Amino acid sequence: MLKNKKATIKDIAKKLGVHHSTVSRALRDHPDIHPNTIKLIKRTAEQMNYQPNMFARNLKNNQTNLIGVIVPEIKHHFFANAIGGVEEAAHEHGYVIIVCQSNEDYEREVINTKALISNRIEGLLVSVSQTTRDGAHFQQFIDEGGKLVFFDRALESVNASKVIVDDYRGGFKATEYLIKKGKKRIAHLAGTKELEISKLRYQGYRDALKKYNIPFRKNLVFWGGFQEEDGIEGMEYLLKLKTHPDSIFAVNDPAAIGAYEVLERRGLRIPEDIAVVGFSNNPISAFIKPALTTIEQPSYEMGKAAMELLNEMLVSKRNKKTKKILKTKLIIRDSV
């Protein structure tokens, strides 16, 4: 047994009296090497505590096995869970992920992208920030042969694959549920106007109103963002209206929780005075009082599906644009 240093391929070859190239090929299950020889070499390598130098091998093959992941924020349960799905699939395919957060800031997103590319990532998984308007940093990566998949938040201006949930159907179901509970003045705390998920959830809201012959009122829509402070600002705006809404459909759970804070401060009861529906099914939504009715997004499955799609692109060495849509589910609790 070697001491104080790792065994090398040449050490194994010397012990067995074979050429080092034979050892190298055997460790890679090369078909030219007899199965019994492969078993002997692998057993000897294990006994000698041989550890392959993956870094050197990847440099030789011009590969790093690194996958870059950019999310708006890691503290958000949805993205933390999605990263878990990404990591699981990445591990299964022999990749290691590097995670960056844009903190909902476009400039930081650009910096993160450039830093990941400089580290020679194999591919990129991205959920864009709510302030991102220009996707040139992503398009350049794709144009130069990089493989990129958007998940949850995508940019239509970038010619890339994406894995999303059925945001339109989720927005429709949330609004329809409020309508079937007798609500007539349904307000919408919307996301940012530029992001596709905001537009799709908003369109689902509008189409549900139209289907049930409920007039659309522009003043009942507040375009803000995806944070609690956006929900706070939006709810304060809605309560200044001459006639208050009787219910709220929020673009996501944090915005809904922001609305909760304002309603509690104003002494308004949920759902007796104003009903609330969120979107995403964050764990906290089941524990706040009253428990929040929401639309569930399969975040872990989304992250895993995005990584699987990226792996397919890397294996095939093709940049074919693919769109995968996952289903949502209405979670009924006590806020309506």
Q: Give yes or no on whether 66-163+299-325 and 167-296 have one common fold.
A: yes
**Domain 167-296, CATH:** 3.40.50.2300
pLDDT band with cut points at 50, 70 and 90 for residue 59: very low
Q: Where are the domains of the chain?
A: 9-52, 66-163+299-325, 167-296
Mean pLDDT of 307-315: 96
Quick check: 303 pLDDT over 90?
A: yes
Q: Which one-letter DSSP state was computed for residue 104?
A: T
Mean pLDDT of 27-31: 82
* In the block, residue with structure tokens 């190298």: 24
Quick check: 3 pLDDT over 60?
A: no
Question: Cα–Cα distance between 7 and 52 in angstroms, integer?
Answer: 9
Mean pLDDT of 90-105: 95
Q: Where are the alpha helices (DSSP H) in the chain?
A: 9-16, 20-27, 35-47, 54-60, 77-92, 106-118, 136-143, 167-180, 196-211, 228-239, 253-265, 299-316
**Superfamily in which the 66-163+299-325 domain is placed by CATH:** Response regulator (3.40.50.2300)
Which range scores top for mean pLDDT: 58-62, 156-160, 273-277? 273-277
Give percent of the chain with pLDDT exceeding 90. Answer: 81
Mean pLDDT of 312-329: 93
Mean pLDDT of 35-63: 75
Mean pLDDT of 205-212: 98
pLDDT band with cut points at 50, 70 and 90 for residue 32: confident
Mean pLDDT of 259-283: 97
Indicate the average pLDDT of the chain: 93
Mean pLDDT of 159-176: 97
Which residues 6+ apart lie within 8 Å of 213 measured at CB?
none
Quick check: 103 pLDDT over 70?
A: yes
pLDDT band with cut points at 50, 70 and 90 for residue 5: low
pLDDT band with cut points at 50, 70 and 90 for residue 170: very high
Which residues 6+ apart lie within 8 Å of 180 measured at CB?
none
Mean pLDDT of 13-19: 91
* In the block, residue with structure tokens 């998984």: 125
pLDDT attached to residue 2: 44
Mean pLDDT of 297-324: 94
Any idea which of 49-53, 109-113, 236-240 has the lowest mean pLDDT?
49-53
Q: Coil, helix or strand for 7? A: coil
